[in-house]
Amino acid sequence: MLKQMLTINNFINNEHVPPVSGQYFDTYEPAKGTPHAHIPDSTPADVDLAFAAASTAFQTWSKTPRAQRAAILYRIADLIDARLDEFARAESKDQGKPVELARTVDIPRAASNFRFFAGRILHGVEESGDLAGVGFSYVQRMPVGVAALISPWNLPLYLLTWKIAPCIACGNTAICKPSEFTSLTAYMLCSVLKEAGLPAGVVNMVFGTGLGAGQALVEHPKIPLISFTGGTVTGAKILTASAPLFKKTSMELGGKNANIVFADCDFEQALRTTVRSSFANQGEICLCGSRIFVERPIYERFVRGLVDEARKLKVGDPALKDTNLGALVSKEHWQKVVGYVDLAKKEGGTIECGGKRPEALQPEFENGYFLEPTIITGLTPQCRVMREEIFGPVVTIYPFDTEEEVVGYANDSNYGLSCSIWTENGRRQRRVAGAIQAGTVWVNTWMARDLRMPFGGMKQSGLGREGGNHSLDFYTELKTICLAD
């Protein structure tokens, strides 16, 4: 007997409702290459329904005391924690990542997002000043209104909650458009929001494609704010569409991040972390270090070490605890990534390891979108493979001789999201970190997370910053009020 597929519906005004058109499409389980759920093919009509609910809810939610809003956010975090394993399994099935990665990173960080911003709104203070002989001025922070929150497929729940938590903590209401490839945990979050006591209409989910639902959100004349995480090309389209309406926008876009390894590094630590920063989540993290630059005295040793460690990584069944890499998110994305491996060969590169589907997969995974961790040498920094975002388990390694040279390589990019630097020289740490054109620079670490700090990219990696007070500033308007003496 065939197992009946799950049908996901939109979540509007705290109720699950079918799309106005009645149309759905299939979403696929990446590890098996088979459909596992029906997703609403939402249209502008669905966005209009969600906006009506969100705008009505805003009238009350924007005036709800901060302590009451924070209590609900804390409750949301607790409920996510209580369903940790359920969320982790669903995230893996929908996205392809190992269950263990979702269980230890994605889902706990989603809960942390709500806890952090719940606490943040309880302890904030605003500016004030005494104008001697004139009056007294103070700042009032106001929610913006109905926000459009558009999230990606690589870290589905984690990055969706990174937007929802500060948005509603500040008193806004939201219409969320998760990626059409990964809607399952967003759908599950709806029941958590309702159980936590979030009032109807505060958070609405409209599922579907970018053209069908996303564009309608972006172009809606009464939605004043857009937070988008995704590709640079899509980000440019959103900016073009939203600019005439003067919407507030925050864009976290693509990356082609450098990983700089100096000869005086802690070699084993640098190697161990580089394996993780290259291939975690199948390389489908915007912060992965895909351009590895190694100082020439240790270049050959580092290449050998990285290849040896990459070959030890287990690719396959995402449910197994010892699996390191799961499946890429879709067949189309798998084809794109493999296309870059083929391009690397044409550009004169050497495939040191990987570049193909793993052998001896279990029969149930033979149609899954798996790719071995891939390391490429022999390319120059001008090659397309070293300049364009691949977003898969593919990295290049290139030697350098001087500090000035490698800073030039790192900065010679259209992107500027992150960079990792490996050196034990304290002066060099500060000097190189200061010279790198990227929104985040890690020294002797990777993916260390501090929610108080600003996060975002330079150049084509994005516009604006979120995190800590930067998120509060984005999701609110600041009004100066002056009272005469």
- SS3 breakdown of the chain: % helix, strand, coil, rounded to 5? 40, 25, 35
Going by the DSSP 8-state scheme, the letter that residue 198 receives in this structure is P
> In this structure, are residues 42 and 84 in contact, taking their beta carbons and an 8 Å threshold?
no
**Catalytic positions, written as ranges:** 252
Beta bridge partners of 480: 139
Retrieve residue 24's tokens: 């759905």
Mention every residue, 6+ apart, whose C-beta is less than 8 A from residue 388: 256, 340
- CA-nearest of 291, 271, 286, 306 to 344 is 291
SS3 168: helix
Q: 66-82 vs 156-169: helix axis angle to the nearest 10?
A: 160
Question: How many CA atoms does the CB half-sphere of 117 hold within 13 Å?
Answer: 30
Give the CA distances from residue 478 to residues 138, 166, 249, in Å, rounded to whole numbers and listed in that order: 10, 16, 16
CA angle 346, 294, 340 (to 5 degrees): 25
User: Are 368 and 274 in contact, with CB atoms under 8 Å apart?
Assistant: no
